């Protein structure tokens, strides 16, 4: 009976680890990443996940015409550069940060409302390592009010 109890504890802890990592990642986005949106106003959503070198992710988001937007890609300091592209629904590249020395910020304004794809990839570390590096990556969105 004692052995079954120990196994249940281990399984419970293992099941909770992903939730703990996700919670810490969201907290990182709130405390660290949100500050970089200034003077843009955060849209209230925290899109964050733990990614490992070589992994990629995509996020679909609707943007409206006439609004000034900022996209900020925020990653843990230990991670290598993060590549990100903004694509339209036909996968035409509207922005690629590789052309801007891996800038993590892009400010833009659209002429028409549309859904865009934010595609990102954590580059592989150029140094040989025994283990791949993992860390939190957040995609933050801000809106800037136009002056009257």
The CATH number linked to 139 is: 2.60.120.380
For the chain, the domain total comes to 1
CA distance 106 to 114: 17
Q: Three-class SS of residue 21?
A: helix
What band does 23 get if pLDDT is binned at 50, 70 and 90?
A: low
Examine the pLDDT at 20 and tell me if it is beyond 60: no
What band does 126 get if pLDDT is binned at 50, 70 and 90?
A: confident
Closest CA to 38 of 107, 94, 138: 107
- What is the domain range of residue 84? 2-144
Which one of 6-10, 22-26, 44-48, 130-134 scores highest in mean pLDDT? 44-48
Average pLDDT, the chain: 85
The CA R_g of the chain, rounded to the nearest whole Å, is: 19
CA distance 3 to 120: 45
Written in H, E and C, the secondary structure of 84-133 is: EEEECCCCCEEEEHHHHCCCCEEEEECCCCEEEEEEEEECCCCCCCCCCC
pLDDT at 10: 39
Residues 88-107: tens digit of each pLDDT:
999 999 999 999 999 999 99
């Amino acid at each position: 009976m004692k052995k079954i109890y120990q196994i249940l504890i281990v399984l419970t802890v293992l099941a909770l680890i992903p939730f703990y990592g996700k919670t810490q990642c969201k907290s990182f986005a709130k405390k660290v990443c949100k500050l970089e949106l200034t003077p843009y106003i955060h849209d209230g959503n925290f899109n964050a996940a733990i990614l490992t070198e070589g992994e990629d992710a995509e996020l679909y988001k609707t943007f409206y015409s006439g609004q000034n937007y900022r996209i900020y890609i925020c990653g843990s300091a230990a991670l290598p550069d993060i590549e990100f592209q903004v694509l339209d629904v036909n996968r035409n590249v509207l922005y690629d940060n590789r052309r801007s020395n891996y800038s993590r910020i892009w400010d833009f304004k659209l002429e028409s409302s549309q859904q865009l794809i934010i595609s990102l990839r954590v580059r592989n570390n150029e140094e040989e390592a025994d283990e791949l590096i993992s860390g939190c990556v957040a995609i933050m969105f801000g809106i800037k009010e136009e002056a009257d």
